[in-house]
Amino acid sequence: MTTVRLPIEYEQKLNWLSTSKKKNKSDLIKEALDMLFRNEEAEMNSYELGKEYFGKYGSGNSDLSVSYKQKIREKINAKYRAH
C-alpha cells in the first residue's frame, strides 16, 4: 500500500472527477498510473525493449554479419551439386 500527499488543488479536482465519473478516487488514480506506465513503455527505444533477447539464441558464429553471402552461396552450390 502506498500513501500519497496531494496538493489541495489536485484533491479538489480528484473529488470533482470522482463525483462526475461516479468512480472512487482509488480507481481514478489507478487509471492515471496505468496511462503513465503505458506512455513510459511506449517511449522506450527499441533497444531497451529487446535487449533481454539480444544474443539469447546465438549461433556461436561471430562473423555471420560479414560472411552471410558466402554461406548462402555455399548452401546454394551444395544443393545443386547434389543433383
The count of other CB atoms within 10 Å of the CB of residue 3 is: 4
More confident residue, 79 or 20: 20
Q: CA of 10: how far to CAs of 3, 14, 17, 18, 64, in Å?
A: 15, 6, 10, 12, 56
Give, in degrees to the nearest 5, the angle at Cα 79 between 78 and 83. Answer: 105
Q: Tell me what pLDDT residue 65 has.
A: 78
The total number of residues shown for the chain amounts to 83
pLDDT digits (tens, 9 = 90+) for 28-46: 999 999 999 988 877 777 7
Report field, pTM of the whole predicted structure over 0.85: no
Domains of the chain (ranges; CATH) run: 1-48 (1.10.1220)
pLDDT digits (tens, 9 = 90+) for 45-83: 778 778 888 877 777 777 777 888 888 999 999 888 866
